[in-house]
Chain A
Amino acid sequence: MLGYDDTELLIEKINQWYGYDFSGYARASLRRRIEGFFLKNKFSSYSSMELSLAQDPACFTRFVEEITVNVTEMFRDPGFYRALREKILPVLATYPFIRIWHAGCSTGEEVYSMAILLSEASLLHKSILYATDVNQAVLEKARTGIFAGASMQQYSENYMLSGGQKDFSSYYTANYNSAKFAPWLGERIIFSSHNLVADSSFNEFQLILCRNVLIYFDKQLQVKVLQLFDKSLDSLGFLALGSKESIRFSGIADRYRQVDPKEKIWRKSR
C-alpha cells in the first residue's frame, strides 16, 4: 500500500491540481481504494500513478469514480424501509409538497426504493426526490433506471420484508441480464452532481437520507456534513443515516430526537 506520508502528499497534490479535497476521508478505506486503483490500472509504480493523475484529467476522473464506494442495493435493511413506511411517510403525507434529498445516491437503487414507497402511499405525485452524488459515472447509470437482473430476487425479498405487498416484478421490465424500472417511477427524481465535501446547501427538505456515506469520512468531516444536513432540513424534518452511523458528537444531536428505537432516523425538533 501507498505509505501514510505519501498518501498525505498525494492528497495535497490532488487538491492543488484539481481543487478536490480528500483530506477528510477516513484513511483506512481511502488507502485501500487507492491501492485498488493502482492495481486495477496496472501502474508500474506509485510515481507513475502520480504522474498520470497529474497529467491526465481523464485518469483523475477514473480515480474519483474508483475511490468512492458505489455498492448499494434496493431496500437495503428492510426494517429501515418498514420504519419509513409506517412512521415517516404518514407524517410527510400531511404536507402539501414533499422534498427529499438522497445524498450520495450512487447508482440510484435506494432512490428508486423510495419512489416505490411514495407511490404505494399515493405520495409520489406531490414529491420531488433530489438524488446527488459526487461521481458523474454513477449518476449516468442511475438516470437509466436499469439495474442488474441477478439482484432482483434479493431485492424482491427485501421489498417484502419492508412491508411491500405488491408483486415486485410489476415495477420493472426484465430484459436479458437487466431490469428496467418503469419510467413513471423516475419522473419525480432529479439526479445531479453534488460534493458533500465542498458544496453547500441547495434547498430545504422534509427528509434527508444519507446512508453509509459518512462512514468514508473522518469525524471532523462527518460533523461538517451533518451540519450541512441540519441547515438543509425543515424545522421538523427527518434525517436518516446508515445502521451503524450516528449524530453523536456532531453538535447537532441536542436538536434531534430518534424516531425509532432501532432505525437510525431522527427528527429535528427546532
Chain B
Amino acid sequence: MAEVALTNARLIIIGGSSGSLEALLQMLPLLKTSFPLPVVLVLHRGTLADNSLTELLASRTTLQVKEADDKDLLEPGCIYIAPPDYHVLLEQDGSLSLDVSEKINFSRPSIDVSFISAAEVYGDGLIAVLLSGANADGALGMLMVAQKGGFVLVQDPATAAVAYMPEKAIQQSPVDRVLEPIAIAALLNKVRKRNR
C-alpha cells in the first residue's frame, strides 16, 4: 500500500459533505501547531458567499485557515477551504487554481475534481482523507489517489453522521486506513514532510 506517502508527504487533502463538519471539529483542535504541510479542504456547502465556515474552523485550530483565492501559493500549516461554487484544482508549481465549470456529482466544489487533480500533481506525496457525507462524490477521487500512489484515509462509516460517502469510497477504492476522526488527526500529526 501507500505507506510511503506518510514519510514523503507534500499535501493533505480532505473532502466531506453532510456530517463532515462534526468530524472536522473533532480533528482540527488536535492538529499540532507546527503542522508541516498545507491542507486543502473541499466541503459541499451552499453557494452564497459567507465567512462563517472559515471563522468556525479557524476558531478550533491554531493553524491558519483561509478561503482559497485563485493562484494562492500553498503554505505549510495553512488550511485552504474551497470557496462556494468553485472547483479547486492543484497546479504543478504548488499553487491552486479555481474553476467554475460544470458541477460534478451535483457538486461545485466537487471532491472528485480536487482529488483527481491533486493525485495528478502530488502522486505518492498526497494524503487524501474522506469524511462523512450523503453523496458518492469523492469515491472516484480516492481511487485515483490510490492509483497514483497516494495514501487513502477514510472516516470509519460507523462514526460518520452519514455513512454513505465513506462507504462508497471503501467499496470503490483501495483504502489504507479506516479510522475515527480522533485517530485520523493522530495519524496526520505523525506525517512527515518530504525532504527535498
Contacts and interface: CB of A to CB of B under 8 A. Distances in A.
Physical interaction between A and B: yes
Interface of A: 1, 4, 26-29, 31-33, 69, 71, 76-79, 212, 214-216, 219, 222, 242-246, 262
Secondary structure at the B interface, as helix, strand, loop or mixed, is loop
A266 to B, nearest CB: 15
A200 to B, nearest CB: 24
Contact of B100 (A1, A26, A69): A69
A79 B49 contact: yes
B117 A28 contact: yes
A219 B93 CA distance: 11
B149 to A, nearest CB: 15
Nearest to A222: B71
B92 A215 contact: no
B97 A212 contact: no
Contact of A244 (B68, B90, B116): B68
24 contacts: A1-B120, A26-B89, A27-B92, A28-B117, A29-B97, A32-B99, A32-B113, A32-B116, A69-B99, A69-B100, A76-B85, A79-B49, A212-B98, A212-B100, A215-B70, A215-B97, A242-B70, A243-B83, A244-B68, A244-B69, A244-B86, A245-B69, A246-B69, A262-B49
Interface in B75-125: 83, 85-86, 89-92, 97-102, 113, 116-117, 120-121
B187 to A, nearest CB: 27
Nearest to A245: B70
The listed residue with most B CB atoms (<10 A of its CB), out of A27, A31, A219, A244, is A244
Given A32-B117, A244-B69, A246-B69, A26 B97 contact: yes
